[in-house]
Structure 1
Amino acid sequence: MAGTSGSVTQFKTYLSDQARVTSMNQLEYWFDGKKGVTESQVKEKFKQMMYNGTTLTTQGTAVFNAIWGNVGLRGSLFPNISDPIAGKDRFEEIIESTSSIFYNFIKVK
């Protein structure tokens, strides 16, 4: 399940891959619905991993830094934002809602 140290490291690695990932639409994380998880639950778990309701967690900051370091992905998620503080503020807004486009990479089958 999302939130373990290994899953965060893997997620950051994918987000940092400038050659392959320039949009969140290029990522898919599949979870086994037979294990009793729903897409909503997984999205909420990812949200809790990254955002505590008022600010980014340590893991959320690491995820943001991975995105910010990937120029293509940064441009896709934060068009017309060149300031990292403004980008971080926008990231918090994006991940606050699990129905945002950011979470579309999560799939349950």
Structure 2
Amino acid sequence: MTDRDEGAEFVRLMTSAARAVKAALDRSFEDYEVHAGQQLILGVLSEEDGLTPRDLAERIGVSVPTITVGVQRMEANGLLTRGAHERDARLVRVRLTDRGRELATVLPERVGEVSKA
């Protein structure tokens, strides 16, 4: 096997592993109507509530449109609220609701259970 073949195989295996972990996390979070990507948003906001979507995107490493869609869904599920930015009317701040704050403490336990499996 050439170095190039080994590199391609490594990428394939890592991609497969990442998909398997995401699927396991999504199954673990089903009871809470949350998926793995949303758990990341909850975790970041539990450390620093009131971030803008751009701040969230930078911390998680995804695009702003991806965060925007996630935030809209999470707001509809009662996990987050979006409110006006105090200094710039073009921006919004994303904050956890009580339910979102509760899940931000519960879901890491589920992550731990998945990682032990």
Give the TM-score, by structure 2 length: 0.29
| Structure of higher RCO (CA pairs closer than 8 Å, 6+ residues apart) | 1
Q: Larger helix proportion, structure 1 or 2?
A: 2
Name which one, 1 or 2, has greater alpha-carbon Rg. 2
